[in-house]
Amino acid sequence: MNVSSTSSSTSSSSLGNTDLQGFGGLVSGLNRDDLIEQLTKSTTNKITEQKQSITKKEWQQEAYRNITDKVISLEDDYLTFSSGGSIKDADLYEKSILTAEGDDNATKYVKASGISDMTDYINIMGVKKLATAASVVSGAKNTDAAITTTMNLNSKATSTTIIAGTSKLKFGHYDTTSNSFVTDGSFTFPASYQDEETGKSISIDYTMEDKEKLVEQLNKAIKQNGATVGNNDLSLEFAYDSATDKLSLRAVDKDGHDATSSSETYKITADDNILSALGVDVSALSETDKKQGITFEAYNGNVATNDKKFSETSVQEEDWANYLEDKKLTIKFAGESNTITLLTSSDKDEVLALDEDQRADKIKSIIQQKINTAYGENKIDVEEDENGNITFAPHDGKTNLMITSSDAELRSNLGISENESTRVNLSGSIYENREKLGFGAEMTEAQLDAALADFSINGNAVTGLTSSMTVGELLTKINDTESLGVKATYMSGTNQFALIASNTGSGRTITLGTGAASTIFGGEGAQFNDGEDAQLTYSYGNGVTQTVSSSTNTFDLDGLSVTVSGTFGYVKDSNGTLTDTIDSSMSVKFSSKADVDGVTEKVKKFIEGFNEIATLVNDQIRNRPDRSYKPLTEAQESEMKEKQIENWNEKAKKGLLYDSSVIRDMSNDLQSVFAKLLSSGYDYKDFETIGITFSDDYQDGGQIKFDEEKFKSAMETQPELVSKLLAGDGDKKGLAQTIEDTLTPYATRFATRNGNSYGKLVEEAGSSKIPLMSLKNNIYKQIKDMNTQIENLQKLLKTQQDRYIKQFSGLEEVINKWNTQSSVLDSIYY
């Protein structure tokens, strides 16, 4: 199918609805729009031709880049040393795979890599010791026999009147037409928010005594999740006055500035319970206020003038039986974790059916039974202390016990921190763990802060420590302070802290100051260990041995990198102490071989990549373009089926670069690769020996043939020959360098190799792999000029259309006048 690329294939007008512009042939009967299209056809054809030219240029750019990107990929993957084994590197073909040979009880501890002329002679006679890092291990920390809670079953539990996930404030306006409140924004009180530094989810405890902290958490949640007050530019913010114990609301702009005065058109509404919980005197609100909402100013005025306190309105007391219903506690004991529901609905009913003086024992009994079901009897004891508070204790008095809950309010009622433990609790604050860390129980937070201000390891201070930080955060702070040169950890199994030097080897010690670091990591029973060097003995098989030391467990032996992971070879005396006597039967030797499979696969892929480039280039210069197939216009595509369009474009894209002198030069250069190699002194038979030859088909554009089996055989028997032919021999460039030199003038990532040019192909069409050149290439500039020409032609077309419309409109007016005069004359005559 051959469609003329310039003929109009649609009857639709290019003028749009021109009936709105003057008279459209109503009087004269002329098809004005068709006539104007014919009169401006020369200009519209020029626009169409320019658009087709742009399409063809874009196709050419794509064709260039297809070749260019493959050239650069070949360079990236096989010809740069950062590619993980450049085929230009002679070491790639060396015997680099080393195998330790000898007694299995020795070879399992030895690994080696590298290339050395002494590989076949080196014997590892023995390893006397491994390198160790300096370390400090604290004595076992104090442990509590029980976890004591503040859950006194003879008193009341404290719960919040603000229900997370349910309690909601609504913002909006009152619609007098529908007589209803229209919600434009809302805020639901959240159960948690995300800590910006750690990314950890922080549960919000609405019963906490520190209301200032509570309000701070609420505002963080708003910033993370948003809470518009109706105007998307304004957000909600809580403000707490600790002096008056009042909670107010305000609207803030995006910069955090108070904009309450500009939000007066937006009102607040909520159910009576949440308003009361926030400190509003609901009885002072009229029914109209409740229905239509109140302004921020009215809300804050109500809160400020009544006698309610936020610390009182936001919490309430209730019976433990009611409070514990459906509350869950997670218990970890002896490596097992279970979550129990403290009281079910039926449990609660059973408790409340008893007299008040019997309820506490019943609740304790129910919880004990559930723990027994989870872990067995006589594992964890639920008791009361002398103050009536519930305690949880391991029955044997020593197994680690931990309790926690995701419910911050429940933790508050129990008086525990996250992951409360009979041992050090990494999730608890330093202050909460002060006794277990070695500080006095009577120490105040202020005193502990002062102690933490003097915290140093290896003479370097750790700053910013506070008693409110968790123990886990303390360890993280130490590990993140590189100047200390240590890593800190807590060993829960033995309830000890440890500091380990970041580097192994002798001459390294860990020192603790006299402050808090010594209290936590030192103290009674602490062990200080200096670092030691590794020690290895080897020989060249001549009976002469040498003993060498290393600060790491890796040794450099004549170019070989030998890493050891255990001791062997040295004889022990009757006490199990190593002597200086070596058992020669435990010596380890090395055999080496080239990485035949790895190198073969790499060279195979390299040649396939080169052949792919040669094929693309060859196709462009061998396929003549059919100039009768031009890019389709939108109008033409609308009349064709998808398959027809595909077939048409396939023919239109044929030979896009046929006339490119750059592609023809590149084709000639690709076909001359072997000629360059042979002219530099290589023997073609040597290439045949390693399975790499020039294709005997002169029409395939210079492809290289690769015989995988021959190449593998050559790698196993003549790796030196493979290296010379591929990586080069002295001043003679090998196949890899010759191909790189051939391709670099056309495309390269390294402009400095090419006279500060990224190559002829890149200069012509750019490359997706070199973004810098996306707007700095010849085709881009040509397309840009063509678009400018189209803009000018479109302006000319508009001018021509407007002129013809004006002329036709004038003609219509003249004919209309003639018709009017003729009608008058006719009426007079008759």
Q: Is the pLDDT confidence value at 69 over 90?
A: yes
Confidence of residue 300 (pLDDT cuts 50, 70, 90): very high
Q: What distances in angstroms separate CA 316 from CA 208, 246, 381, one per listed residue?
A: 12, 17, 30
User: What is the Cα–Cα distance from 621 to 210, expressed in whole angstroms?
Assistant: 81
Residue 715: how many other CB atoms lie within 10 Å: 24
DSSP 8-class letter at 100: E
Which is nearest to 511 in space by CA: 459, 451, 438, 437?
Answer: 459
Q: Is residue 327 a contact partner of residue 403, using CB atoms and an 8 Å limit?
A: no
Check the CA dihedral 286-288-292-298 and report its sign. negative
pLDDT for 754 equals: 86
pLDDT at 699: 85
In the predicted model, is pLDDT for residue 325 greater than 90?
Answer: yes
CA nearest 421: which of 331, 336, 491? 331
- What letter represents residue 66's amino acid? N
- Report the distance separating Cα 235 and Cα 253, nearest Å: 6
Q: Could you give the domains of the chain?
A: 95-131+533-593 (no CATH), 157-317 (no CATH), 434-529 (3.30.70)
Pairwise CA distance, residues 623 & 626, whole Å = 9
Name residues whose C-beta falls within 8 Å of residue 801's C-beta, 6 or more positions apart in sequence. 15, 36, 40
Q: Give the pLDDT of residue 265.
A: 66
pLDDT digits 0-9 by tens, 752-777: 888 899 999 999 999 999 998 988 99
Q: What is the predicted pLDDT for the residue at 601? A: 94
Q: Supply the pLDDT for residue 492.
A: 84
- Span 321-337, mean pLDDT? 93
Distance from chain centroid for Cα 505: 36
- What's residue 4's pLDDT? 35
Which backbone phi and psi does 243 adopt, to 5 degrees?
Answer: -70, -40
* DSSP percent split of the chain into helix, strand, coil, nearest 5: 40, 20, 35
The answer to whether 578 and 128 are in contact (CB under 8 A) is yes
Which stretch of DSSP H or E encloses residue 557? strand 554-557
- The strand pair at 486-491 and 496-504 is best described as antiparallel
450 touches 515 (CB < 8 A): no
What is the rounded average pLDDT of the residues 227-254? 88
How many other β-carbons are positioned within 10 Å of the β-carbon of residue 269? 21
pLDDT the model gives residue 314: 93
Average pLDDT over residues 458-464: 93
| pLDDT for position 142 | 76
pLDDT of residue 400: 87
pLDDT value at 369 more than 60:
yes
Distance CA 165, CA 523 (A): 48
d(CA 501, CA 40): 85
* Percentage above 90 pLDDT, the chain: 60
Distances (CA, A) of 67 to 231, 306, 375, 665: 55, 80, 69, 14
The yes-or-no verdict on residue 11 having pLDDT over 70 is no
Q: What is the pLDDT of residue 19?
A: 44
Segment 397-403 shows an average pLDDT of 89
Quote the CA–CA distance of 830 and 826 in Å, as a whole number. Answer: 6
Angle between helices 661-670 and 596-622 (to 10 degrees): 140
**718: pLDDT strictly greater than 50:** yes
User: If phi over 0 gives left and psi between -120 and 50 gives alpha, with beta otherwise, what is residue 771?
Assistant: alpha
Distance CA 168, CA 227 (A): 11
The percentage of the chain sitting over the pLDDT mark of 70, rounded to a whole number, equals: 95
User: How do residues 415-450 score in pLDDT, each as one tens digit?
Assistant: 888 888 888 889 889 998 998 899 988 999 999 999
* 4 phi and psi angles, rounded to 5 deg: -60, 130
Mean pLDDT over each residue of the chain, to the nearest integer: 89
3-state secondary structure 623-682: CCCCCCCCCCCHHHHHCCCHHHHHHHHHHHCCCCCCCCHHHHHHHHHHCCHHHHHHHCCC
Q: Which residue from 581, 569, 580 is spatially nearest to 124, judged by alpha carbons? A: 569
The H or E element that residue 69 is part of is helix 41-78
Instruction: Specify whether the CB–CB gap between 147 and 403 falls below 8 A.
Output: yes
pLDDT above 60: residue 12:
no
Helices (H), 108-167: none
> Residue 819, class by beta-carbon neighbours within 10 Å (0-12 exposed, 13-18 middle, 19+ buried)?
exposed
Residue 458, H or E segment: none
Select the more confidently predicted residue: 549 or 824: 549
| Alpha helices (H) along 324-455 | 345-352, 356-375, 408-414, 434-437, 445-452
702 contacts 673 by C-beta, under 8 angstroms: yes
Chain position carrying tokens 């104007």: 36
Strand partners, 331: 338, 403
C-alpha pair distances (Å), 759 with each of 87, 603, 742: 22, 25, 11
290, 296, 302, 308 alpha-carbon torsion, rounded to 10°: 100
pLDDT at 821: 77
What SS3 class is residue 268?
strand
74's tokens: 């070949």
Q: Which two tokens stand for residue 54?
A: 């742009």
Query: For residue 534, what are the β-bridge partners?
Result: 550
pLDDT at 318 over 60: yes
Which residues sit opposite 592 in a β-bridge?
A: 98
3-state secondary structure (DSSP) of residue 128: strand
pLDDT digits (tens, 9 = 90+) for 504-537: 999 889 999 889 999 999 988 899 999 999 999 9
Residues across the chain:
830
Work out the pLDDT band at 829, boundaries 50, 70, 90.
low
Q: pLDDT band at residue 118, thresholds of 50, 70 and 90? A: confident
Model confidence pLDDT, tens digit, residues 243-297:
999 999 988 888 878 877 665 667 899 999 999 999 999 999 998 888 899 989 9
Exposure string of 807-818, with b = 16+ CB inside 10 Å and e = fewer, is ebbebbeebeee
| Cα–Cα distance, 704 to 607 (Å, whole number) | 7
Inform me whether the pLDDT recorded for 716 exceeds 70.
Answer: yes
Q: Name 627's Cβ contacts closer than 8 Å, sequence gap at least 6.
A: none
Query: DSSP state, 197?
Result: T
Higher pLDDT, 11 or 371: 371
pLDDT tier at 830, thresholds 50, 70, 90 = low
Enter the DSSP assignment of 731: T
pLDDT at 5 over 60: no
pTM: 0.58
Report the alpha-carbon distance of residue 540 to residue 546 in Å, rounded.
Answer: 9
3-state class (DSSP) for residue 617: helix
Report the SS3 class of residue 472.
helix
